Chains A and B, each alone.
Chain A
Amino acid sequence: GAGVSQSPRYKVTKRGQDVALRCDPISGHVSLYWYRQALGQGPEFLTYFNYEAQQDKSGLPNDRFSAERPEGSISTLTIQRTEQRDSAMYRCASSLRGPISSGANVLTFGAGSRLTVL
C-alpha cells in the first residue's frame, strides 16, 4: 500500500483479555518494527523483522507479548492477558531494508493503535 496501515486504530479491552494488533507495511519493505509509546514519552523499541524472521525481540517486556510476520508482509503483535500497564500507543514502522544506522533507510511509521486496558 501507499503507507503503513495499522488496525485497529483504537482498542479498549478489559484486563485479562488477549488483543491482537495488526500492521500492514509498505509493499516491498523488508524490515518491520514495533514500538510502544506511553503518554508523554518517546517510542520504545519492542521487536523487528527482516522478511519473516524476527531479528530482535529484546524490547518485548515479558512473555505475554509476542509478534509474528509469517509471510514476510503483514505482522501481528499479540498481547495476552492484558494488564492496565499495557495501555499505550503501539506503533509499527517499515523500511525498505535494514540496517538503518547508515541513514540510507528511512523508517515510515503508521498512525498507531491506541490500546486502553480497563
Chain B
Amino acid sequence: GDSVTQMEGPVTLSEEAFLTINCTYTATGYPSLFWYVQYPGEGLQLLLKATKADDKGSNKGFEATYRKETTSFHLEKGSVQVSDSAVYFCALSDQDTPLVFGKGTRLSVIA
C-alpha cells in the first residue's frame, strides 16, 4: 500500500541554520503530497502542498518540490527560527484516499 518515509529525528539546529527534512513516498497512483506541522499543544496544520510533478509548495519560508523521478518531497528552509520548533509530518493522498502520514520529524531550534 501507499506509504511515506521521512528522516528520523530529533533534528537540532541553531537559529539561522539551513534545514532539510527528507521525505520519500511509495504510491500506486499519482498522489498529492503535503507537509503538515504540529506545534506544541496544537493540532496539525497544513504547511504546504504540491499536486503534480515539479510543483513547488511554499509557505512561511519553507519549500518542498514534488520530484516524481526520485519519489521525494523534501522540506527545506534557508534560515530556521526558534519559532519553527515543532514536529513535521510528510503525507500523501493517492486516488482520493485519506491522507497517509509519515512518522514525523521533531525539529528543535536553539538560539
- Asked whether any CB of chain B lies closer than 8 Å to the CB of A111, the reply is yes
Q: Which residues of A contact B34 (CB under 8 A)?
A: 103
- Asked whether any CB of chain A lies closer than 8 Å to the CB of B99, the reply is yes
- Assess the B45–A100 pair: CB atoms within 8 A: no
- Do A103 and B50 contact each other (CB < 8 Å), given the known contacts A42-B101, A45-B99, A98-B96? yes
Q: Which residues of B contact A112 (CB under 8 A)?
A: 43
0 or 1 for each of A93-106: is its CB under 8 Å from B? (1 = yes): 10000111111001
- Do A102 and B32 contact each other (CB < 8 Å), given the known contacts A4-B43, A42-B104, A112-B43? yes
- Chain B: how many interface residues by the 8 Å CB criterion? 28
- Do A100 and B103 contact each other (CB < 8 Å), given the known contacts A43-B89, A109-B43? no
Mark B residues whose CB is within 8 Å of A.
Answer: 4, 31-32, 34, 36, 41-46, 49-51, 89, 91, 93-104
Which one of B43, B46, B50, B89 lies within 8 Å of A42 (CB-CB)? B89
- Assess the B46–A106 pair: CB atoms within 8 A: yes
- Assess the B93–A101 pair: CB atoms within 8 A: yes
Which one of A99, A107, A111 lies within 8 Å of B46 (CB-CB)? A107
Q: Can you list 18 A-B contacts (CB < 8 A)?
A: A4-B43, A33-B99, A40-B103, A40-B104, A42-B4, A42-B91, A45-B99, A45-B100, A91-B43, A93-B44, A99-B93, A100-B96, A100-B99, A101-B32, A102-B32, A107-B46, A109-B36, A109-B45
